[in-house]
Amino acid sequence: MPGFLKEFLNRNGTGMGLAILGLVLFWTIGLIILPQLSMLDFSFRPNLPPPEIGGPKDVYTLENYRYLVFGPEGGSQDYNTVDLRVFFRTLVAAVCVTIFNLILCYPIAYYLGQTKGNHIRIFAIMLIIPYWINEILRAFALRIIFGETGVLNTMLVGMGVWDTPFDFIRNDIALYAGLGYAYILLMIFPMYNVIESLDKNQIEAARDLGAPWWRIHWRVVIPYAKPGISSGCTMVFMLSAGALAAPQILGGPSSLWFTQLIYQQFNDNNDWPQGAAYAIVLLVTCILFVLAVMRLFKVNMGDIGK
């Protein structure tokens, strides 16, 4: 038995230790790893009617992955441009949402983290309470704000900023706003956690040595907050790329999100293997992308947990 396991059992007692261990293993293996493995298995199989499952046609194939890149066999185009475009657009848009969120949330997190007083707790509560409202309702509320006859357009047209209503939805502004808003907390709180522990004297020392405010952030605060920034960015990127409700409700008619394609495969086409393949591609690409960016910015895996 490895040392850490022995210590764990000693500390918690054998019975309790085994129970905790069992639950954790059930959680990770039973509820996360096995379903994902079964999805992986699905993705390599053809979509067959129930009677043929297990029959001679039920063999492993790369067809589902091939389909994403090249489209239907004998199709008119060399590549599956429609789906690929949606795929890359989703990734680029998720990156944009992440960057937009970072720029928006860093000042908030900095303010919350470096200011003392009771009002900070009130601000934090004001940030949290909107999340009691469910996602669908929040998305539709944004539709009311951004719609053609919505609050924003009525105001702007009324003030004479422009003559005809601007279509925020078709131009995806509502979608970005919705996605950005949905994950604000996941960006703010990891950064806030780190910045709160930054010694105020560090900032004053930099200032005393002649640094202007942007330099203080660039050389002192941001390097210190890096674990929080990377943790927030990773979560926002992963969740934006994997979001479904916001794109469904706030996305323009011409701008599908890749998750919507996956949903269609599973639900409308009843093609689980195809859907599983798309989902796996999205998952793996996102993980590789995040790892690459982490490497670029010299962030350790351990920092993410901070």
Partner 1 sequence: MSAGVGVDLENLWIRFGDFVAVRDANVNINGGDFFSFLGPSGCGKTTILRAVSGFLEPSEGNVLIGGNNMKGIGPNKRPTALIFQNLALFPLMKVWENITFSMEIKGASSAERRKRADELLEMIALPDQGDKLPSELSGGQRQRVAIARALCAEPDVLLLDEPLSALDLKLRQHMRTELREIQKRVGITFIYITHDQGEALTMSDNIAVMRAGVIDQIADGKTIYNDPATAFAASFVGENNVFRGKIKRVMGNEALIATNRSGDLVARISTANQGKMKEGDDAMMFIRPEALAIAPDGATGDHFVTARVNHEEFEGNAFNIFTEGDGGKEIKVSLPNLGQSFEDHTGQIITLEYETRNAVLVPAGELAAE
List residues near partner 1 by CB under 8 A: 199, 201-202, 204-212, 215, 219-220, 223-224
For residue 86, what are the contacts with CB-CB under 8 A and spacing of at least 6? 256, 257, 258, 260, 261
Tell me whether residue 188 or residue 220 sits nearer to partner 1 (CB atom).
Answer: 220
Tell me whether residue 89 or residue 207 sits nearer to partner 1 (CB atom).
Answer: 207
Tell me whether residue 111 or residue 218 sits nearer to partner 1 (CB atom).
Answer: 218
Q: How far are the Cα atoms of 58, 181, 195, 230 from residue 219, in angstroms, in the given order?
A: 58, 28, 14, 17
Tell me whether residue 224 or residue 266 sits nearer to partner 1 (CB atom).
Answer: 224
Instruction: In angstroms, give the least distance from the CB of 198 to partner 1.
Output: 10
Instruction: In angstroms, give the least distance from the CB of 217 to partner 1.
Output: 13
Instruction: In angstroms, give the least distance from the CB of 213 to partner 1.
Output: 9
Q: Which of 193, 176, 261 is CA-nearest to residue 232? A: 193
Tell me whether residue 126 or residue 209 sits nearer to partner 1 (CB atom).
Answer: 209
Distance CA 12, CA 296 (A): 41
Instruction: In angstroms, give the least distance from the CB of 204 to partner 1.
Output: 6
Instruction: In angstroms, give the least distance from the CB of 115 to partner 1.
Output: 16
For residue 62, what are the contacts with CB-CB under 8 A and spacing of at least 6? 44
Instruction: In angstroms, give the least distance from the CB of 212 to partner 1.
Output: 7
Cβ proximity of 199 and 209 under 8 Å: no
Distance CA 44, CA 65 (A): 8
Distance CA 285, CA 269 (A): 24
At 137 the three-state DSSP class reads: helix
Instruction: In angstroms, give the least distance from the CB of 223 to partner 1.
Output: 5
Instruction: In angstroms, give the least distance from the CB of 301 to partner 1.
Output: 18
Tell me the angle at which helices 151-159 and 135-146 cross, rounded to the nearest 10 degrees.
20
Distance CA 74, CA 71 (A): 9
Task: State the alpha helices, DSSP H only, in the chain.
Answer: 3-12, 14-25, 34-43, 63-70, 81-114, 118-128, 135-146, 151-159, 173-182, 184-196, 200-208, 213-216, 222-241, 245-250, 258-263, 272-296, 301-304
Tell me whether residue 224 or residue 289 sits nearer to partner 1 (CB atom).
Answer: 224
Distance CA 143, CA 168 (A): 9
Tell me whether residue 210 or residue 305 sits nearer to partner 1 (CB atom).
Answer: 210
Tell me whether residue 124 or residue 211 sits nearer to partner 1 (CB atom).
Answer: 211
